[in-house]
Structure 1
């Protein structure tokens, strides 16, 4: 059975060339599919564009067992909060799951928000499939049971090509006590969206009779949203600047909600989104400083489930390819995300910290420094060049470690050779036999290490730390988590 950490002593020589043109080790279709699902936002990356990612997804879904692909999609959607890549996977699985006993359950569970159904339907049309399968219809109909009138109104998508009312007419969900009135109003064309934050703020602006009245109404709308907990966590992050400008007295309440651990974990907001929000503020006034402090605390909470790893070396890739945006973002880069995770893990474990590129060096740090501050300055403090040479890691590591954690896109190319010999030389020189964690931040599908005691992980979510905590006692931790997904 294929698995994620599929390394053996027999596989001693590199057997493929990676996207940067360097030696690498080929991985299973299951590993490539999972790493793609957990890292791709279907946007352009340094070594792959959006269309390339979709093409790879199509090929990999054709190669793996459909039940595994379905579980990987559910895991990526529910645990990592990945949306677009899982919508595409759900569409591509339509024929492969035909007649599968878990097909209906898959199309029910892949839907977290009502618009997930609309995006899957749109993806299905893009690949030339005009009709929903019976499993899709039954699964989507069942998914409606989880949504109330507020959610149905919020995700009507009246301005989209595929509207929620179209989906209702296609799958005919059975009304429940929670949604019967909303579904009927949706079909009748009378359902209005008045309770979402977008609707409340729009109404406040439209009803104002003067600039002063508009400011007052906006402040009142923010007060209602925050005090009634009607502003989702991601919406809160996106609107911090508006709250400071339009309702400055509510900044303490907004900060309180930012550091609400239950809200943060329930939101599925990826930690790099906190860095995006953090970059908006310079801290030039009291309210901005309050918000920056709250975001820093939220980032610590987002990574709070990190394992305690004694005698560890944490290594962060600062090469040129890591300077590409995360999720097509113009605000946060892969190297910054690696720095956010890497520094937080190092501080948590009292670990040594290293950056590498063309060369490698140890990074001094203080426990008082925050992970967000470190991530913000990581790229500009580069002192290792912009190539990617994994061999440099083991030349710069001077002492014996029990484990080494590497955050990278895994596209080594400087000198062309994999670091196998350099790793062996480090082990011989120091007497170390470290467990090695390879954390893939790009999902390109090839690896740099063939050795035993290597755990491979992928993704931009704090969920990788849950897998990391189990990896040394369960070498199949990640694959077992995917297999455990219930359909």
Structure 2
């Protein structure tokens, strides 16, 4: 019996006792933080993708579809939801929901070609020759509905060279245009006659004056929020007036930008920290408040400072900092701590000053979350922990309301039992905590 119990136990990568989740909980955990096929500190991207594939048929079809949609619309992830839909198409229990789910999940034209690339990936042989297996009727139906979402500008912007082109999708699914104008656009797409899109990539690569190009794109509202953040340093180098850039940051939409991206932008363009901080906090101005006393606890152990993925310069610590900054704004009374080998209480800072305090609070070593909770969890209405959940020691139950905000995709974690787990590094996790407590009142 002891041997069986030992086999059934689950442990985190740092050795603390974890929990075996239900398939739905495990799929949520793997999916909502997943940058598909990109390795994390403890697990490689292939292992995480394979786990998602194995879990899909074990979760109720309706819940699987809801998770895919939440990953795209709430957590703003692009690739992982496509993998889930592709796996749904394999299983008779899930197929009926594929078209509706795919039509919701696809929000950019290139996601149609990415979906097909994922669909056909299994057919790669030893010589990397692709055998394109027939595409299921539900996938075709979902792609056909998604195609009608996009205008000429969007199709031209994302019609890139590759194994699968957008016109290939059009031929494959035999979509019906909404009207004569869309039919004309699709004919231009097939004939290669769509006008070149007026994007910052096209404009800057054309050799035109960079300052003039950026000023025109900003004036015409042609530079999206993420593109603006990515190009701040280049705009400074091109001597775009500071006021022009600052006004663009102030006017940008923040609803599709994850909090940590502002922290990364500030790393490369520190002159714009005040504007970036204001834009980052804009998304929480209408959130419900967290009344009473709150303690925020941020994991600064070594694993949190590995990149979010192999292709990213951003770290899970930055993701956690972004969430902590936002959470601090909705708390009436708050104390903030970090943990690694030690527990450190921070001064009551806000915005990027809080980020600096978090990162510089202590050496980034072990993960003694249990010790931190034991020391911190007293005389508060709620405890919110931002972590990858890979603890060395056992984590006790919270004394009041306890939230374990998980910012990684690892299989096992410690935030179980009385803890309320929230997976993801979108600002939506803070909104969910506030909204859920309002519902309880």
Normalization by structure 1: what TM-score? 0.81
Change (3 A) 1:185 1:387: same
User: Are the aligned partners of 2:33 and 2:407 in contact in 1 as well (CA < 8 Å)?
Assistant: yes
Higher RCO (C-alpha 8 Å, min separation 6): 1
**3-state SS of 2:292 partner:** coil
Does residue 412 of structure 2 align to residue 442 of structure 1? no
**3-state SS of 1:264 partner:** coil
Aligned to 1:58: 53
Aligned to 2:294: 312
Backbone CA RMSD of aligned residues: 2.3
User: Are the aligned partners of 1:336 and 1:378 in contact in 2 as well (CA < 8 Å)?
Assistant: no
Aligned to 1:165: 167
What is the CA–CA distance in structure 2 between the aligned matches of 1:448 and 1:99, rounded to whole Å? 31
Mapping 1:338-377, distance limit 5 Å? 338-349=320-331, 350-366=333-349, 369-370=350-351, 372-376=352-356
Aligned to 2:129: none
Aligned to 2:64: 69
Post-superposition offset of 1:98: 6.9
Does residue 292 of structure 2 align to residue 302 of structure 1? no
Does residue 389 of structure 2 align to residue 410 of structure 1? yes
Aligned to 2:5: none
Aligned to 1:264: 254
Post-superposition offset of 1:104: 1.8
Change (3 A) 1:330 1:184: closer
Change (3 A) 1:449 1:378: closer
Does residue 376 of structure 2 align to residue 397 of structure 1? yes
User: Are the aligned partners of 1:22 and 1:411 in contact in 2 as well (CA < 8 Å)?
Assistant: yes
What is the CA–CA distance in structure 2 between the aligned matches of 1:152 and 1:343, rounded to whole Å? 37
What is the CA–CA distance in structure 1 between the aligned matches of 2:89 and 2:313, rounded to whole Å? 35
Mapping 1:27-426, distance limit 5 Å? 27-42=21-36, 43-96=38-91, 100-128=95-123, 130-157=133-160, 159-177=161-179, 178-203=181-206, 205=207, 214-215=208-209, 218-249=210-241, 251-260=242-251, 263-265=253-255, 268-282=256-270, 289=271, 291-304=272-285, 305=287, 307-328=289-310, 330-349=312-331, 350-366=333-349, 369-370=350-351, 372-376=352-356, 378-382=358-362, 386-397=365-376, 399-414=378-393, 418-420=394-396, 423=397
User: Are the aligned partners of 1:306 and 1:465 in contact in 2 as well (CA < 8 Å)?
Assistant: no
What is the CA–CA distance in structure 2 between the aligned matches of 1:192 and 1:132, rounded to whole Å? 30
User: Are the aligned partners of 2:28 and 2:67 in contact in 1 as well (CA < 8 Å)?
Assistant: yes
What is the CA–CA distance in structure 2 between the aligned matches of 1:279 and 1:449, rounded to whole Å? 31
User: Are the aligned partners of 2:61 and 2:97 in contact in 1 as well (CA < 8 Å)?
Assistant: no
More moved, 395-404 vs 84-93: 395-404
**3-state SS of 1:96 partner:** coil
What is the CA–CA distance in structure 2 between the aligned matches of 1:220 and 1:398, rounded to whole Å? 55
User: Are the aligned partners of 1:337 and 1:375 in contact in 2 as well (CA < 8 Å)?
Assistant: no
Change (3 A) 1:155 1:69: same
Does residue 425 of structure 2 align to residue 460 of structure 1? yes
Alpha-carbon displacement from aligned partner over 1:444-466 (angstroms, at most 9, x marks no partner): 243324443x3110111000112
What is the CA–CA distance in structure 1 between the aligned matches of 2:377 and 2:177, rounded to whole Å? 66
User: What is the total number of aligned residue pairs between the two structures?
Assistant: 421
User: Are the aligned partners of 1:307 and 1:468 in contact in 2 as well (CA < 8 Å)?
Assistant: no
**3-state SS of 1:230 partner:** coil
Post-superposition offset of 1:194: 3.5
User: Are the aligned partners of 2:88 and 2:94 in contact in 1 as well (CA < 8 Å)?
Assistant: no
Post-superposition offset of 1:18: 1.8
User: Are the aligned partners of 1:406 and 1:437 in contact in 2 as well (CA < 8 Å)?
Assistant: yes
What is the CA–CA distance in structure 2 between the aligned matches of 1:439 and 1:219, rounded to whole Å? 42
